[in-house]
Amino acid sequence: MKKILSILAIATSIIGLCTCCGTPSVSNDPASDTPTRQATPTTEPTATATPTPEPTPAPTSLKVLAIGNSFSVDAMAHLWGICADGGIDNITLGNLDIGGCTLERHWKNLFNEANDYSYHKNTDGNWVRTEGKSIQYALADEQWDVITIQQASGMSGIPFAIEEYISDIVAYLKEKQPNAKIYWHMTWAYQNDSTHSAFDMYDNDQITMYNSIVDTVKSQIIEPSLCDGVIPSGTAIQNLRTSYIGDTITADGYHLNWDRGRYTAALTWYCYITGNSPDNIQWVPSSYPLLIEDLPAIKEAVSAALNEPFAITESTLK
């Protein structure tokens, strides 16, 4: 009981505070990173386990909005290039970002129409950032196909920090964008040597944090059937850590690094949203050409996460 009270006290004390970094990182990939468009794959991907959507023909256009924080910046950094390589002709990405933003703060901002967000938008392979925007602004900016929501990284494994706000947020989004799919972005556990203050809630243990995130997503998102699906970025990252790459996928112990980490998260988003296989993707950012050598391990990790979104699958590439 003392342990439980201690965890609740620590969790309560950091709600509303920055659990990621205070300054979001923004993709500035040069124009040379824009991939050559390829033909849309005709091979149907293998059916995946719940909650991965049923495979559908590759869309010719895709509009994705994230209501997030620096972890959504990480996940979307390479998403435009991957989508273009997958044969999508018209791509619009949006990201409402406040560093370390909790679900509670998203909820308050939503109903106060607060102009607190950096709004990152990408329509041509380059991110353009504007300050002082609201959730309402972004919802009115486009007719989105997909809208993602997420918790601050340190709170992602704490059930009560989600259950109080999630249903109201989803109901509002569905009212304003009835044709959009609402997906939960499942974030990743910290690196084992992370010095992030929130890591204490998980005994500074990566597997404890990962399991807490999985259990929370199951109890607060899957069981109530609040969202249309869950993007298993956290499991893809954890799978990759079992490969020869090891626990070296972050830049600072919690944010993903620019090459392997961010690419893995973006590929997970692309495959989950479109239902397409990662096997057809060959593009890598020109700034990170050596990523081509790691694509087999990354694709294996992503495929396994799509098939087993809530369990770690050991890599065969040691």
pLDDT digits (tens, 9 = 90+) for 50-59: 455 554 566 7
Residue 60: the pLDDT is 85
Residue 285 is inside which H or E element, if any?
Answer: none
**pLDDT (tens digit per residue) in 6-47:** 444 444 444 434 444 433 333 334 333 444 333 333 333 343
∠ CA 50-53-55 to the nearest 5 degrees? Answer: 120
Whether the CA torsion 48, 50, 55, 61 is positive or negative: it is: negative
pTM above 0.75, yes or no: yes
8 vs 184, residue with greater confidence: 184
Ramachandran angles phi, psi of 209, nearest 5°: -65, -45
% of residues, the chain, pLDDT over 70? 82
Model pLDDT, residue 57 = 60
- Say what the pLDDT of residue 54 is: 55
pLDDT value at 198 more than 90: yes
**Strand, helix or coil for residue 198:** helix
Task: Report pLDDT for 52.
Answer: 53
Pairwise CA distance, residues 255 & 233, whole Å: 13
Does residue 167 have a pLDDT over 70? yes
User: 61-68 and 146-149: which strand pairing?
Assistant: parallel
Sign of CA dihedral 207, 210, 214, 219: positive
Query: What's the one-letter identity of residue 188?
Result: W
User: What are phi and psi for residue 18, nearest 5 degrees?
Assistant: -75, 120
Using the predicted structure, report yes or no on whether residue 203 has a pLDDT greater than 60.
yes
pLDDT digits (tens, 9 = 90+) for 112-153: 999 999 999 999 999 999 999 999 999 999 999 999 999 999
25 against 264, higher pLDDT: 264
CA–CA gap between residue 83 and residue 86 (Å, rounded): 5
Question: Which pLDDT score, from 0 to 100, does residue 242 have?
Answer: 98
What is the DSSP annotation of 142-159?
Answer: ---SEEEE---GGGTT-T
51-83 burial, b if ≥16 CB within 10 A, otherwise e?
Answer: bbbebeebbeebbbbbbbbbbbbbbbbbbbbbb
Does pLDDT of 49 surpass 60? no
